[in-house]
Structure 1
């Protein structure tokens, strides 16, 4: 009997130790007078995110609204304290005044598991700061001006593509169209690949663009292991990278090799990175390998085709619902193009005030009705809304 009692005491002591370890940090925000929801042992406040019941964005929004009278909210990601700022002054301090103290992303980087993770979005401060100092000027208005004719060429081909396909099918899915167009723009401006997505849906570049944000079991497990079981995440280095990663790395490698062998120079993002690679002293002796160069192109590609394609498809949707807005926008564009024999100029874009309003106005809303339509838009639809008075008076 005494042996059973000792075993029971041992199990109880172990459970108490585990519980203490799982909750030992949960007084962190309380001791500092910061309010927040009650955390669960080991899981903290991320249960809904852990089990994929809510996205991080939706959960953050709920917390932001629930604590509307607080300047900040104390949360826990497992055992780690996390602070959600609501006060604009505090946010400004973090992003500007005290930014040198907040350069870390708080994410794990294992380049053997994810070769494209060593990009500007995830890098630690030692590599991030010198790289950012040299990449930021690449997105200046001057650099955009140099690439503008590449964007115009893609737009001209888009116009031709629409004329051919609308006449044949009568229906065009605008979201897919916008994704193809932005993929071509990124392909041209960053890689020197011309019109692969619109011209050929089965092109390697278009396949990569479809798989970047694809939802599959490996992506899901990889992300969850990174967040919650880093040791198991690191073991994924034993597996080969995903197919789209290998395809992307091969594409960049072959493009760089072809340019070097044929002495080709285009005013695009790849050339800027290749020039930077030739001058390692500018990066404070950071080893700017081909893989790291590819990672910068990868984040540029991922960010460059998704957000613009959503903005374009949202704008097209609202313009279809608001014919008067569409007509007024077309008149403005034709007016400026008419001044230059039908050509679109870089400087004219900034002068098109109504075009600027149209792109800034559409915003996501969970309301099922809009001023332009009282009908339901589908069970899972998040309709958009253009307020005509705002377009007129903003």
Structure 2
């Protein structure tokens, strides 16, 4: 009996030592390569405050970036997974553009059998990504977008009426919610030819799904973190990130819409028509464009089209409410443009907002082969993620003095000419930049025009300055929304 107890104790100690050895070996990866960086801790690596929801991923990386800014790149660990934070702007440009073929993945674990909608253009890599990107790009050309402008304007007119009716109830508006309703209707009309009724119907199914997709809770955050830290475990456990009801809703909606188009010979030159044309030539395609793969692309355009754009609109309104002089200058520009009817409202407000409040705080790229960093002795192994610290760069005072200030002079032609092109990365850069950039720009401008030509926006009693970032949100957004006073002009 005594011998058995000793055997168990020795076995237990051996297991503990093995685990300890494995942990310390993994967490010495960058040190052994001579790559500088902060000391990690077991389990959490360098992201303890992210796991505990004390900081967002952008803030964690910003802290590391600020302390190690003198280094071209910094070795960190997300859990026990080694990553490189790239500080040097020239190296960022090389990774995103020149050597894109090496860094063409985002390192997202896609569990298609469990979550079919995750196999979208944002997540997938390799040949399937190239095929889908090439097939979807035509819908966002200047010519195609012109066909969508009338549909956007129609949604914007409904938005104008909706705001007027809301102000009969209260002069304080939840900007996040009304902007999300507007962008939901725009993406529904322009991309899918569907009247989503988010503005006219508080019980709109699409708006309900939009809220659910970006819910911030401990359970969903834990699953996302597991996917990032140990993708092999996430995949092997067959964990689902998405509610099966959402998947079924989108699959059924897209299939029904396509059937209606085919049966009634309806042509709208939108995303659904593009899908139908791709399916017609499926036998000639190198990649099989299955129904689930098609629906995954529709889903990501819905999710990105309404959420990031609505965040951009609401954050812009917040910044304009805090800076009334900038608001008045923009309003004068809007009124002047509408009088001249030349449609050339500048993108400066978009750039100002995306610089200070970028929805996506970091860009991830994964090496698909080993890569020796130019002019160094460091080699990035195949499968290693590199992290482009967007939020940190956008708030670096050496690029943007007084970075927390919403300054309209930062994006004059002369000011932009003096900065490195990689100092503004809200939509990414290179071949894998945001495919819907111009669509988002048109949508944003129409929403802002409808508001500022009719109302002056001001902080309300519940407006927090500076705002507190929602630590559990996937994208950068204020905690508890943005509630502003709308004062009719």
TM-score range, shorter chain: 0.7 to 0.9
Structure 1 alignment gaps of length 5 or more: 341-347, 385-394
Residue of structure 2 equivalent to 1:259:
261
Residue of structure 2 equivalent to 1:292:
293
Which of residues 257, 270, 273 is equivalent to 1:271? 273
* Structure possessing the higher relative contact order (Cα contacts under 8 Å, 6 or more residues apart): 2
**1:144-194 Cα distance to aligned partner (Å, 9 max, x none):** 222111111111111222233324544433222111111111111111123
Residue of structure 2 equivalent to 1:358:
349
Residue of structure 2 equivalent to 1:338:
339
Displacement after TM superposition at 1:205 (Å) = 1.5
Displacement after TM superposition at 1:195 (Å) = 5.6
Matched residues in 2 for 1:138 and 1:282: separation?
20
Residue of structure 2 equivalent to 1:33:
34
Matched residues in 1 for 2:277 and 2:165: separation?
40
Name the SS of the counterpart of 1:156 in structure 2: helix
Matched residues in 1 for 2:188 and 2:267: separation?
15
Name the SS of the counterpart of 1:112 in structure 2: coil
Aligned pairs (5 A) from 1:4-43: 4-43=5-44
**1:100-150 Cα distance to aligned partner (Å, 9 max, x none):** 111122221111222210001111313112211222333222222221111
Name the SS of the counterpart of 2:132 in structure 1: helix
Aligned pairs (5 A) from 1:241-252: 241-252=243-254
Say which is worse superposed, 87-96 or 190-199, in terms of deviation: 190-199
Tell me if the contact between 2:139 and 2:270 (Cα under 8 Å) persists in the aligned partners. no
Distance 1:38 1:315, change over 3 A: closer
Tell me if the contact between 1:120 and 1:132 (Cα under 8 Å) persists in the aligned partners. yes
Matched residues in 2 for 1:167 and 1:361: separation?
32
Name the SS of the counterpart of 2:198 in structure 1: helix
Structure 2 alignment gaps of length 5 or more: 358-394, 396-401, 408-457, 470-476, 478-489
Residue of structure 2 equivalent to 1:133:
134
Matched residues in 2 for 1:193 and 1:247: separation?
14
Matched residues in 2 for 1:240 and 1:37: separation?
34
Matched residues in 2 for 1:194 and 1:239: separation?
27
Aligned pairs (5 A) from 1:1-394: 1-194=2-195, 196-216=197-217, 218-228=219-229, 230-231=232-233, 234-236=236-238, 241-280=243-282, 283-284=285-286, 286-321=287-322, 324-340=325-341, 348-349=342-343, 351-353=344-346, 356-362=347-353, 363-364=356-357, 377-378=463-464, 381-382=467-468
Name the SS of the counterpart of 2:101 in structure 1: helix
Matched residues in 2 for 1:45 and 1:242: separation?
33
Distance 1:376 1:251, change over 3 A: closer
Name the SS of the counterpart of 2:173 in structure 1: coil
Query: What is the TM-score with the length of structure 2 in the denominator?
Result: 0.68
Matched residues in 2 for 1:320 and 1:173: separation?
13
Say which is worse superposed, 182-191 or 325-334, in terms of deviation: 325-334
Distance 1:5 1:358, change over 3 A: closer
> Relative to total residues, which structure has the larger strand share, 1 or 2?
2
Root-mean-square deviation over aligned CA pairs = 3.3
Find the structure with the greater CA-based Rg: 1
Tell me if the contact between 1:110 and 1:234 (Cα under 8 Å) persists in the aligned partners. no
**Number of residue pairs matched?**
372
Distance 1:233 1:98, change over 3 A: closer
Matched residues in 1 for 2:234 and 2:125: separation?
21
Matched residues in 1 for 2:241 and 2:92: separation?
40
